[in-house]
Amino acid sequence: MARTARIADIPSLGTLDRTAGNLSRQIAQALREAVRTGGLEAGDDLPSTRLLAASLDVSRGTVTGAYEQLIAEGFLEARAGAGTRVAPGLLASHEREARRGRAHRAAPDPAGLRQADETQAARERSRGVRLPEPAAAFARIAREFRPLPPVPFAVSVPMGATAPADIWRRLGNRLRAKGPGGPAGYTDPLGALPLREAIAAYVRKSRAVRCEPEQVIVTSGTQQGLFLASQVLLAADNEVWVENPAYRGVTAVLERTGHGQTMRRIPVDAEGIDVDTGIRIAPRARAAFVTPSHQYPLGMPMSMARRTALLAWARANDAWIVEDDYDSELRYQGYPFPSLQGSEPSRVVYLGTFSKILFPSLRLGYAIVPEALVDAFCGARVLMDRHPPNADQHVLAAFMAEGHLERHVRKVRNVYAEYRARLIATLGELLSDDIAWVEPGDQGMHLVLWLARGTDDRAVAESAASAGVSVRAVSPMFAPGTARPGLVLGFGGFSHAQMRAAAQRLAAVIVEAVGKSVHKGRRRSSGQQR
Amino acid sequence: MARTARIADIPSLGTLDRTAGNLSRQIAQALREAVRTGGLEAGDDLPSTRLLAASLDVSRGTVTGAYEQLIAEGFLEARAGAGTRVAPGLLASHEREARRGRAHRAAPDPAGLRQADETQAARERSRGVRLPEPAAAFARIAREFRPLPPVPFAVSVPMGATAPADIWRRLGNRLRAKGPGGPAGYTDPLGALPLREAIAAYVRKSRAVRCEPEQVIVTSGTQQGLFLASQVLLAADNEVWVENPAYRGVTAVLERTGHGQTMRRIPVDAEGIDVDTGIRIAPRARAAFVTPSHQYPLGMPMSMARRTALLAWARANDAWIVEDDYDSELRYQGYPFPSLQGSEPSRVVYLGTFSKILFPSLRLGYAIVPEALVDAFCGARVLMDRHPPNADQHVLAAFMAEGHLERHVRKVRNVYAEYRARLIATLGELLSDDIAWVEPGDQGMHLVLWLARGTDDRAVAESAASAGVSVRAVSPMFAPGTARPGLVLGFGGFSHAQMRAAAQRLAAVIVEAVGKSVHKGRRRSSGQQR
């Protein structure tokens, strides 16, 4: 591949800025860029310093300086009597990318030099860099939480009818330019007051939450709310109730980031968390993380009897309740219970998010906390990330104050109700009841498709990914030894045609997987398993 | 104050949306809003239902329904034969705000009713709500980190010549509307690739950091980088080196959110962290958190000998280095050392931020981590807040790719150099050398003003706040028992006139405080103390 590079191969030279000083350094940077992006390849001869200087209209010394710098760095190689070439061992960035597929890469490749890379690898092996103890567990979490490709049935891809309207953009253009939404210094860790006021008004009205704006903490979404609650509410060796099954975002936080507190998984049945069992297993737990409006992932509401029992236990035991009211805007069946928080504002931390009803990439949500805990949540938040970014808080506050959110919710609710019904019908057509069946819960933006006993739902999710379908396995949401196989399917953000086509591919994957599990002799006996 | 409210006093009635259903509920909400914002005050008589119905062109029953709802809630009060009035015990939101000044507020005030408030307080006292164990420490942190009012000498208030230009706004309007910067689903926890590429190119060029875009993790600023590093690098019972003095954002994270690891404070001298002492105190520490480019808060660079010793210790001991390269763009003296990371990319976590050079309310920064730790940082990040908000990442990527950041840095550097020199001159004029003197370091956007021995710098900071001047005390940055009194003064974002006026007020406060400390007989002996 070695050839003499033409100046046209180095388009980055076009970005030289003569007013910015040190042209040598700029030329050196342009050449590095050209290697990185592939315009220059390992072994290529460079133009002579005389030619390049003339073409750039700079002094020859300027170009020589750049070449000398890069020779010192190992990017270039001077050959006696034969000009300068790109070091033959150099790998362009796109080649390095291609090498990333390898399961075990020998070593970092920070300088982009293959030889240096190998030397470095050898040095690291001899040094034996030992990873820190927590690294392996966090790396597993990264793999588990990797975002799904934005194809059906990834949860929460705002598109088409469910994307926020142009009004969002217009408010942004207006409010982000200047005033309180414009560039600013460090602001309130609890969030911008207009947004906290809008959120307080919204949850008072829509969820019977009892709060003042001073109790509202703007978060980056439910995940941050869960993290903050675990930090503030739990000390070392405290026990905590968590539903079984539960959102992995809760159980992973309590597994990894706690101070040694013990998570007690409490079963859920058709009425929600089984409070009697909780009291039997861990009567002195300091907190309970629950999803009373619709259990995650199953979707049924917590019954009034269980709500009463849970609150009575919390009062008697001086315990805290963390109420994750995810997808609170989206209900399709029956009359919604008001929030638990409204019954016991001094013991409940209430969590909500705009990720689902607006869009996830906004990263805005809220925690509403007992007044006695506001300062503690504020301190925990400061140490995590100081405060939420400012601008979009003001955009969202205006969006809410002007009534756009409520209109948006009404629209989205209707769209999703139809999507959900259609998806349930399609799955019913495609999959017989002894292979897979839909959980009858009311989950907002996803549904659970149970799979016949013995099916490996993680393997199904992987096969589905290969077939271009995004689903998550349900079994990791259960405590070890209690899992049932199933899939979480989001139904937002895609056309009916896309969802139908994906459902067909998914059904084929499931039928094959369940067939395999039958060969292994573990097919579910017969009849209903719900 | 009681009077009959006119309909004009309730502007929120103008927002009724006849297409949105349930006008009664909307009217009730408008009246609540009017109370909250002060249009209606406690004891005010309301318009009659007949008059209000006629004026809104709704049925009288609709208005009566709203009034009845609010009477049930306690907002309004019906008086036989005398119409309806706002409950006399009701406090408007702005009045509640005013009451916040009180050190110990009796109880939450969730319903906005003073009487309900008192009942609630009584109930809580009888219940005896016990706060969770971590709450008190987090509450202290909240008080300590409370943002300073945006007056001199708060650090990092972007204004005037140092605010990003119109180009920032224009890029935002373009990129946030659609495409990758538009509303989106869950995205890469490590950040948007174009921004990671721009950051990698930027730090390679400006700080000799050796990295690929894959090693760049977009954070919400240095604070999140420090938090992530403490989580990933340190296990229970690990020791960690921290400079003395140090940024409170580091020491507070390690005190509060660790898993019991032990912070070892290592003294700094004119060459930076004293590595020999570190090795004597804690040879087996697993990590060192350092500020090699300019020590925080003192401002001197770590010498080459110390850099070499620190890296040698880290290699021999399999330890990690966290390099906080705050204010890396702003240097006024001498030749900048390149980053430590560039000398040892496989052992150094490099942290940077755009809070200072652009603006803090943006909440964007970066961690550049050894390739072997990328997945672990990703997992830790997912559990904190899933991923950074999307839109501004793309705006910043374009801002950098188009060269605006570099131009902005050059401009800001010149402006700040002048501000810094003027402030040093002003302080020298106003304060004699035995009372207060400037640390000769090179700190970017702040300087340290030492105070005569025995001065209570926290009391000075409080008196300064009363005089409308924002400063932070230095003593909390030291390990207990080693503190020296001083103040951190930011010099960004204010006019020379503002800074001069503030310096005069501050000097008066200091002279008075040092005078007091003299009376207590603890005035510094004489001569230089540097």
Which residues are B352's β-sheet partners? B366
Q: Does B361 contact A183 at a Cβ distance shorter than 8 Å?
A: yes
Mutation target to probe the A interface, by most A beta carbons within 10 A, among B219, B382, B390, B394 is B382
Q: Does B110 contact A173 at a Cβ distance shorter than 8 Å?
A: no
pLDDT in tens, A71-85: 765 678 887 777 888
Which residues are A241's β-sheet partners? A264, A288
Entry field: residues in chain A: 530
pLDDT value at A182 more than 70: yes
What is the structure's pLDDT at A261?
72
Q: Which residue has the higher pLDDT, A361 or B334?
A: A361
Closest-CA residue of A relative to B145 is A382
Instruction: Please state, rounded to an integer, the average pLDDT across all residues of chain A.
Output: 85
What is the structure's pLDDT at A520?
55
Instruction: Region of A81 please: left (phi>0), alpha (psi -120 to 50) or beta.
Output: left
Q: Does B147 contact A189 at a Cβ distance shorter than 8 Å?
A: yes
Sign of the four-CA dihedral A377, A381, A386, A392: negative
- Bridge-based pairing of strands B287-290 and B239-244 is parallel
pLDDT in tens, A132-152: 989 999 999 999 999 888 899
Q: Does B168 contact A183 at a Cβ distance shorter than 8 Å?
A: yes
Closest-CA residue of A relative to B182 is A361
What is the structure's pLDDT at A102?
34
What is the structure's pLDDT at B122?
41
What is the structure's pLDDT at B114?
34
* Pick from A104-108, A308-312, B338-342, B497-501: least confident: A104-108
What is the structure's pLDDT at B72?
60
pLDDT in tens, A22-63: 788 888 878 877 776 667 877 888 888 888 888 888 888 889
Two structure tokens written together for A421: 């019904």
What is the C-alpha to C-alpha distance for residues A133 and A120, in angstroms, rounded to an integer?
A: 23
* Pick from A82-91, A217-226, A365-374, A467-476: least confident: A82-91
Distances (CA, A) of A109 to A101, A105, A126, B373, B422: 14, 10, 17, 14, 45
Q: What is the mean pLDDT of residues A468-490?
A: 96
Mean pLDDT by 10-residue block, N- to C-terminus, for chain B (530 residues)?
Answer: 68 72 81 72 85 85 83 72 76 42 34 38 53 92 91 79 83 90 90 97 93 97 97 92 97 78 92 97 97 94 94 96 91 77 96 91 96 96 95 96 92 89 96 94 90 96 96 96 96 89 97 78 42
Find the CB nearest B376 among A120, A138, A410. A138
pLDDT value at A194 more than 90: yes
Measured between CB atoms, does B145 come within 8 Å of chain A? yes
Measured between CB atoms, does B100 come within 8 Å of chain A? yes
Write down the residue that tokens 């992006």 correspond to. Answer: A37
CA dihedral A398, A399, A401, A407 (to 10 degrees): 170
Q: Indicate the SS3 state at residue B14.
A: helix
* Pick from A255-264, A274-283, A488-497, B400-409: least confident: A255-264
Measured between CB atoms, does B105 come within 8 Å of chain A? yes
Q: Does B379 contact A138 at a Cβ distance shorter than 8 Å?
A: yes
Bond preceding residue A189 cis, omega within 30 of 0: no
pTM (global) more than 0.90? no
ipTM over 0.85: no
pLDDT value at A443 more than 90: no
What is the C-alpha to C-alpha distance for residues B168 and A369, in angstroms, rounded to an integer?
A: 36
Q: Does B372 contact A184 at a Cβ distance shorter than 8 Å?
A: no
**Runs of H (alpha helix) within A182-300:** 193-207, 222-233, 248-256, 275-281
pLDDT-derived band of residue A328, with 50, 70 and 90 as boundaries?
confident
Find the CB nearest A183 among B163, B373, B378. B163
What is the structure's pLDDT at B29?
78
CA dihedral B102, B106, B108, B110 (to 10 degrees): -90
pLDDT in tens, A369-383: 999 999 999 999 999
What is the structure's pLDDT at A157?
66
pLDDT-derived band of residue A116, with 50, 70 and 90 as boundaries?
very low
Chain A, chain B: beta-carbon pairs less than 8 Å apart? 374
What is the C-alpha to C-alpha distance for residues B123 and A513, in angstroms, rounded to an integer?
A: 58
Q: Does A361 contact B112 at a Cβ distance shorter than 8 Å?
A: no
Structural Rg of chain B based on CA atoms: 28
Residues ≥6 apart with Cβ < 8 Å to A313: A275, A278, A279, A319
Chain B stretch 180-219, residues whose beta carbon is closer than 8 A to a beta carbon of chain A: 183-189, 201, 204-205, 210-212, 214-215, 219
